[in-house]
Each structure stands twice: as structure tokens, then as C-alpha cells.
Amino acid sequence: MAITLQESLRALFYAPFYVALARDAYAAEGLDVRFVSSPRPGDAARNVIDGSVDVCWGGPMRVMQAYQQMPESDLASFAEVVTRDPFLLIGREPRPNFVARDLLGLRVATVSEVPTPWMCLQEDLRRAGVDPAALTRVSDGGMVDNVAALRRGDLDVVQVFEPFAAMLLADGAGHLWYAQASRGPTSYTAFYARRGLLDQRRDELLCMVRAIYRTQKWFASADGEAISAAIAGYFEDVPAAIRVDACKRYASLGIWGRDPWLPRSGYERLRASLVSGSFVSPGAPYELAVDNSLAERIIAEDPPALDEKGR
């Protein structure tokens, strides 16, 4: 029986997951994977809980949210892939020496599609001594609309992921102020599933983790052009030059982990952000929400990187 693997939304920072699919990394491990998309990001965890899908890739945020809303939840994150925050602040004017206080008095649009980007940014502001409530914040617009508003001059700063940043930078309509990845490890994306599935289908999930680790090893030596080419089929509407620039930027920021171990430091930084933003309280403990046993075994195996044919 196939493992049903779900994406929560289509995003370029999920590139390793798309490369694993495009290069048949799962098939190379003898695993049959059926790939599906969640209609809405907020439905992704519910689909795992009710058994509609087996495994999802998404933020440990969703696992913590599930425990907040349903203490009896048994979700667990395993195999971290995105280990730093992929969101960026793009301003209309250059600000090479940006500090958090520069946002005060400006019209700042934050991401509305998912909660984690703002949760993490507001925590950064607090740590810099800036009250997030003091911002003139536009919080109800989508990234597409916010980018258009920045171009019109209706906004001063927008929070976006790639390729929106690369598009704005390419034509001079925006300037990079702050890469949220620069705060350091923040566990952003991993596989997650119900703990019962981790037990019942452990051999298959070990194959899944091995496939993603081999993909991570491929990423460690791949350049922006190679990554862009590998994921092109999932982003056909993004011009190749923009896609390459976006992949290069993410690689330089170190957002993609080199192995599937989900570190306590990254999880706790994410949890601190969610707690300070009143999204969860106190947030699921690391030992409850994370299972590194599969990653530990596969890292010890030290499998080879994917080759160009996915073998």
C-alpha cells in the first residue's frame, strides 16, 4: 500500500521535497508514494489526524497547534528538512544597515496565508526591544496583493517568501532588508505523522527518511542552477532566472538542513516564538512533539547522495 504524502502549500523553500519526488528518490528505496496537496494549509494536520493522508510535510508549528487544540493528539515531527526561517523583509527603498526599529512608522505588510512567519518576526522584534504592537501593520493581505501594493507605493515593507523576493529585487522594485534565516536555527519544516503510523509502518517510513537524507546530501553540493532545474516542473510559472536567483539565495542562507535530525535548539526557538505571540501556551514539549529515532538510524547508515538519475 502506498504512503500518501501531503504538501500543505506550494512553496519554493520546500525544494528538497520536490527534488525527492522529481528524482524518484522514494522509488529508489522501494517505497510507493502517492503525492497530494492540501486544499488549505490549515487543513493539513487535520487530514493526517483523520487518516485522509499518512504523512505531511509542514511546520512543527502545526504539531504544536494540534496539541494545543487537542491534548490527546499523537502527532510527531520527524526528519527535519527546512532548518531556518525562509521569509524575508523587502522594502521599497534601500536599507543596508537595517535594524528592527526601522520598521516603526512604516506601513509593514506581514504574511496572512500562514501564522508562522509573523510569529517568528514578532519574536525577533521583542528580542530587539521593539513592541510588535507598535508597528503599522497590514495583516490581512495575501503576498501577491502585498507585492503589488509595494510596487504601487501603498506599502513600505512586505514580508514574503521566494520567488516574490527575487521578483522584486530583479527589477529594482524592492530591496532586501532582513532575512529571517539570520536569527539562526528555527525548525521550520519536517515530515509529521501520527505516532501509531510511525510504529505500524516503520520500515516504510525509514525508507522515506533515507530518501530525504540522500536528497539532502545531494543539496549539500548542488548549486542554484541545479536545484532550480530539478524543481522546475513544480514551478512552471516562475521564470527560470528568478527561480535560480531564489534557489541561490536560500542556499546561501542555509535554510536547508544537511541531515534529517530535528534539533532541540531549532524547535525551542520556534516554540518561544509561538508562545510569545500567544499562538500556543505553553507549547508541546520537544520530547512529545518530536521523534528523532528514524533520523538517528538513517544518519548512522550514512547512505550515499542521490545521483543525477535518482539512484
d(CA 30, CA 51): 23
Domains of the chain: residue spans and CATH: 3-84+185-301 (3.40.190.10), 88-183 (3.40.190.10)
Q: What is the DSSP string of 36-105?
A: EE-SSGGGHHHHHHTTS-SEEEE-HHHHHHHHHH-TT--EEEEEEEE-S---EEEESS--TT--GGGGTT
Q: Which residues pair with 4 in a beta bridge?
A: 34
Q: What pLDDT shows up at residue 311?
A: 58
| The CA-based dihedral angle spanning residues 40, 161, 55, 230, taken in that order and rounded to the nearest 10 degrees | 120
Q: What pLDDT shows up at residue 40?
A: 87
Q: Which residues contact 255 (CB under 8 A, 6 or more apart)?
A: 13, 82, 83, 84, 85, 86, 181, 188
| 5-55 pLDDT, tens digit each | 999 999 999 999 999 999 999 999 999 999 999 888 888 999 999 999 999
Whether this prediction's pTM lies above 0.75 is answered by yes
CB distance 269 to 85 below 8 Å: no
Q: What pLDDT shows up at residue 310?
A: 53
**What parts of the chain have a pLDDT lower than 50?**
none
Q: What pLDDT shows up at residue 74?
A: 95
Q: What pLDDT shows up at residue 308?
A: 67
Q: Which residues contact 82 (CB under 8 A, 6 or more apart)?
A: 13, 14, 16, 188, 189, 190, 255, 256, 257
- Nearest Cα neighbor of 168 from 229, 95, 226, 92 is 92
